[in-house]
């Protein structure tokens, strides 16, 4: 279980820390979409709903207004980070499906039970995932399933998550799908499997530190 926990944390940290070069942008052909991944649209409203889930969970965990404002300030890029995760999840799922990787609900529950034991209970795990990775309680099982898919994909490739071979598989999956981001949220670098900020001065930053809710 310790190996699985390290794998899960590694993937989550890698998603948050990736910093590639800009290679593509544009999504004018898809009005109302924050991103298009293959034939799937991630609408602006879906993105906003996901951000609201995180903000509501943060608000419930930090009832003090001043402390909550500090949390908001520290997570000013939440909208863009959330879109990054939503896109990368789809790319990973595509790569896992192509490799014949599947994850069962029982495997997710087994992983969750082990993590809960390490964290000190269900609430402690939910709090840790929210604080460290921005995953609200209702998305925890979904996130753990993604972690397991990543782990199994890496094993199928004969490597580990975070290694070049693993990210190469995601890069190929992203190129196969085609990822198109709305310029207001940046652009997607398929080679590095990461969202990047588009340097377009005429596009207003919609996720500044002082913005509590996405536009």
Is 143 a member of any domain? yes
Is 168 a member of any domain? yes
Residue 4 has pLDDT above 70, yes or no: no
Q: How far apart are CA 128 and CA 134, in angstroms?
A: 9
Q: Which domain holds residue 117?
A: 2-196
Q: Are 5 and 114 in contact (CB under 8 A)?
A: yes
Distance of CA 134 to the CA centre of its chain: 9
Q: How far apart are CA 42 and CA 164, in angstroms?
A: 28
Q: How far apart are CA 25 and CA 138, in angstroms?
A: 31
Is 210 a member of any domain? no
- DSSP tag of 182: -
Q: How confident is the model at residue 187 (pLDDT cuts 50, 70, 90)?
A: confident
Is 123 a member of any domain? yes
Residue 189 has pLDDT above 90, yes or no: no
Q: What is the mean pLDDT of residues 177-181?
A: 92
Greater pLDDT, 186 or 86: 86
Is 205 a member of any domain? no
Q: What is the mean pLDDT of residues 101-126?
A: 97
Stated pTM of the model: 0.77
CATH code of residue 51: 1.10.4030
Is 185 a member of any domain? yes
Residue 20 has pLDDT above 50, yes or no: no
Task: Supply the pLDDT for residue 15.
Answer: 45
User: Number of structural domains, the chain?
Assistant: 1
> Residue 195, SS3?
strand
Is 81 a member of any domain? yes
**What angle, 0 to 180 degrees and rounded to 10, lies between the N-to-C axes of helices 105-119 and 140-157?**
110
Is 209 a member of any domain? no
Q: How confident is the model at residue 186 (pLDDT cuts 50, 70, 90)?
A: confident
Q: How far apart are CA 145 and CA 6, in angstroms?
A: 15
- What value, to the nearest 5°, has the Cα angle with vertex 41 and ends 209 and 172? 90
Q: Could you tell me which residues come within 8 angstroms of residue 30 by beta carbon, excluding any fewer than 6 positions away?
A: 36, 41, 180, 182
């Amino acid at each position: 279980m310790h190996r699985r926990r390290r794998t899960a944390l590694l993937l989550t940290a890698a998603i948050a820390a990736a910093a590639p070069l800009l290679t593509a942008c544009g999504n004018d052909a898809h009005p109302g979409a924050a991103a298009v991944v293959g034939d799937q649209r991630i609408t602006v409203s879906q993105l906003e709903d996901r951000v609201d889930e995180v903000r509501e969970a943060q608000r419930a965990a930090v009832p003090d207004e001043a402390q909550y404002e500090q949390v908001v300030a520290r997570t000013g890029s939440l909208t863009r980070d959330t879109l990054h995760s939503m896109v990368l999840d789809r790319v990973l799922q595509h790569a896992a499906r192509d490799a014949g990787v599947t994850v069962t609900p029982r495997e997710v529950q087994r992983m969750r039970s082990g993590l809960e034991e390490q964290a000190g209970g269900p609430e402690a795990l939910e709090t840790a995932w929210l604080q460290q990775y921005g995953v609200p309680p209702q998305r925890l099982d979904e996130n753990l399933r993604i972690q397991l898919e990543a782990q199994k994909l890496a094993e199928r490739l004969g490597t580990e998550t975070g290694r070049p071979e693993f990210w190469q598989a995601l890069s190929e999956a992203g190129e196969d799908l085609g990822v198109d981001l709305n310029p207001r949220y940046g652009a997607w670098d398929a080679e590095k499997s990461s969202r990047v900020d588009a340097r377009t001065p005429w596009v207003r930053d919609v996720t500044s530190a002082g913005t509590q809710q996405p536009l």
